[in-house]
C-alpha cells in the first residue's frame, strides 16, 4: 500500500486548511446575516458585530411578513420565475432543435441569433416594442422579451447536434414526426442540459429588477428585488454621483428600515433560489460540459 510521506501530508493538510478558511470566509457573511436578522435592533445598535444573537427575536421576520408589499412581491416573483422559466425552456429548446437540424436557411437564422449576441436594440426601442405589443403592465413584459437567450440557444443547439443521428433515423423509419422525435427522444436525452439552463433562466427571472420598474406601472405587481431594494438600500447615499445638497438632505431624512429587517429580507429573498442549486447541481456541471465539448 502506498503511504504518503510527511511532506505530502503537510501539503495536503495545508491545502485543506486553506480551503476550509476560504469557505468560512464566504460563509461568514451569510452566517452574519442570519445572526443579525434574529437579533433585536437595540442589540445590533449596541454591539455591532455579533457572533451569536444576545437574544433570539423574530421581530424582523414578523415585520417583513406583515408588509403586504413584500408578501405580494414574493408571489409576483414566484409566478414570473416559474412561468418565465417554462416559457424560456420551451422557446429556447424548440428553436435550438430546429437549428440543429439540416433545414434550409439554417445558416441565415444562426447568423441572426449571433447578431443579437453582438448588438442589442437598446432600452428605448425595446420599450417601444413592448408598449406597442400591449405588454406594458403585464407580467409578459418580464417574460417574453428575454425568453430566448442567444448564448443559451447556441449551447443547447450544440448539445442537440451531439445526439447521434442514427437515433433520429431509426425514429423516422418507425414513422415518428419531427415533433414526436423532439418531444419523445431528444428532450428526454437532454435532461442535464435542460436542468442547467432552467437554473440559469430561473436565477435571471428571480433577480428581475429594472424591467419590473420600467414596464410595470402598477407597483402592486413589482417583483421581490424591487421591494427588497427599498428595504435595504433606500437612504444609502450613493457617493459616486454628484447630488445637490437638497437631494442629499432629503435622502438622509428618509430613514431606512433597521438593518435587522434588511438582513431578514435579503435572506428571505435569497434562500428559495439558493435551494434550487443542490437539486440541479449534479446536472449542472454535466450539462454545461457536454454542451461545450461536443460542439
Partner 1 sequence: MKKKNASLLLMLSLSLGVTACSANKEETQPTSSSASTGTAPAASSASATASPSADPAAKKLDISLFEGVWSAIPDPNGAGIQAINEKFNVNFKANLVPFDQGGQKMAVLMASGDMPDFVGLGGADPSYLKWAKQGAFLPLNDYIDKYPVLQLIPKTAWDSVTVDGNIYAIPRFFTTKYRNVPIIRKDWLDKLNLQMPTTYEELLNVAKAFTFNDPDGNGKDDTYGFVMANGLDNEMAMGSGFYSDTWSMKNDKGQYLPGIITDASKQRIQFLRDAFKAGVVPKDWPVLTYKDNRTTFYSGKAGIYYDGTPGNKGLFDQLLKADPNAVVETIPPFKAPDGSQALPGLSGWYQMYSLNGKLKNDPDKVDRILSMINYFATFIPPEQQNENNPDFDWKNGGVGKGYTMENGVADYPEASLSLRPKSYLEIAEWAPSDEALQVEKKAINPIQKAYAEKSVKLWSTPGMTYINPVFSIHSDLYDTKFWELNTKLIDEQTKMIVGNTSMDNWDKMVQDFLKNGGQDVIDEVNQKMQEAGAEPVYK
Residues within the interface to partner 1 (CB under 8 A):
42, 45-46, 68-69, 94-95, 98, 103, 105, 109, 112, 123-125, 127-129, 131-133, 210, 213-214, 217-220, 226, 229-230, 234-240, 242, 244-256
Tell me the closest approach of the beta carbon of residue 135 to partner 1, in angstroms: 11
Nearer to partner 1, 114 or 271 (CB): 114
Nearer to partner 1, 202 or 231 (CB): 231
Nearer to partner 1, 7 or 132 (CB): 132
Nearer to partner 1, 23 or 177 (CB): 177
* Residue 202 in grid coordinates: 430561473
Q: How far from 105 is each of 6, 94, 99, 111, CA to CA, in Å? A: 64, 16, 9, 10
Nearer to partner 1, 19 or 129 (CB): 129
Task: Tell me how far apart the alpha carbons of residues 223 and 254 are, in angstroms, rounded to a whole number.
Answer: 22
* Residue 144 in grid coordinates: 417574453
Tell me the closest approach of the beta carbon of residue 145 to partner 1, in angstroms: 10
Tell me the closest approach of the beta carbon of residue 205 to partner 1, in angstroms: 19
Tell me the closest approach of the beta carbon of residue 278 to partner 1, in angstroms: 34
Tell me the closest approach of the beta carbon of residue 79 to partner 1, in angstroms: 19
Tell me the closest approach of the beta carbon of residue 261 to partner 1, in angstroms: 11
Nearer to partner 1, 33 or 99 (CB): 99
- Given the C-alpha cell 422525435, which residue does it identify? 181
> Which residues lie closer than 8 Å to 114 by C-beta, 6 or more apart?
150, 154
Nearer to partner 1, 199 or 268 (CB): 268
Whether 190 and 93 have beta carbons less than 8 Å apart is answered as: yes
Tell me the closest approach of the beta carbon of residue 285 to partner 1, in angstroms: 30
Tell me the closest approach of the beta carbon of residue 151 to partner 1, in angstroms: 18
Nearer to partner 1, 131 or 282 (CB): 131
Amino acid at each position: 500500500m502506498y503511504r504518503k510521506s510527511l511532506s505530502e501530508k503537510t501539503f495536503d493538510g495545508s491545502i485543506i486548511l486553506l480551503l476550509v478558511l476560504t469557505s468560512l470566509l464566504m460563509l461568514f457573511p451569510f452566517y452574519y446575516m442570519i445572526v443579525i436578522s434574529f437579533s433585536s435592533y437595540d442589540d445590533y445598535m449596541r454591539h455591532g458585530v455579533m457572533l451569536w444573537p444576545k437574544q433570539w427575536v423574530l421581530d424582523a421576520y414578523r415585520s417583513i411578513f406583515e408588509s403586504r408589499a413584500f408578501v405580494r412581491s414574493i408571489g409576483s416573483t414566484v409566478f414570473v420565475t416559474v412561468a418565465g422559466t417554462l416559457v424560456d425552456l420551451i422557446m429556447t429548446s424548440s428553436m435550438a432543435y430546429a437549428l440543429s437540424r439540416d433545414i434550409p436557411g439554417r445558416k441565415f437564422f444562426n447568423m441572426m441569433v449571433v447578431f443579437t449576441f453582438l448588438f442589442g436594440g437598446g432600452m428605448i426601442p425595446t420599450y417601444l416594442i413592448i408598449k406597442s405589443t400591449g405588454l406594458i403592465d403585464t407580467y409578459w413584459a418580464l417574460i417574453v422579451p428575454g425568453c430566448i437567450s442567444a448564448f443559451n440557444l447556441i449551447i443547447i443547439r450544440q448539445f442537440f447536434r451531439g445526439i447521434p443521428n442514427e437515433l433520429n433515423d431509426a425514429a423516422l423509419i418507425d414513422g415518428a414526426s419531427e415533433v414526436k422525435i423532439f418531444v419523445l427522444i431528444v428532450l428526454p436525452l437532454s435532461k442535464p442540459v435542460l436542468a442547467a439552463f432552467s437554473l440559469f433562466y430561473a436565477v435571471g427571472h428571480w433577480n428581475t429588477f429594472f424591467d419590473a420598474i420600467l414596464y410595470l406601472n402598477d407597483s402592486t405587481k413589482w417583483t421581490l428585488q424591487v421591494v427588497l431594494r427599498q428595504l435595504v438600500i433606500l437612504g444609502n447615499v450613493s457617493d459616486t454621483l454628484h447630488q445637490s445638497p437638497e437631494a442629499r438632505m432629503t435622502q438622509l431624512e428618509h430613514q431606512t428600515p433597521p438593518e435587522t429587517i434588511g438582513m431578514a429580507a435579503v435572506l428571505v429573498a435569497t434562500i428559495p433560489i439558493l435551494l434550487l442549486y443542490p437539486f440541479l447541481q449534479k446536472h449542472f456541471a454535466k450539462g454545461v460540459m457536454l454542451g461545450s465539448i461536443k460542439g
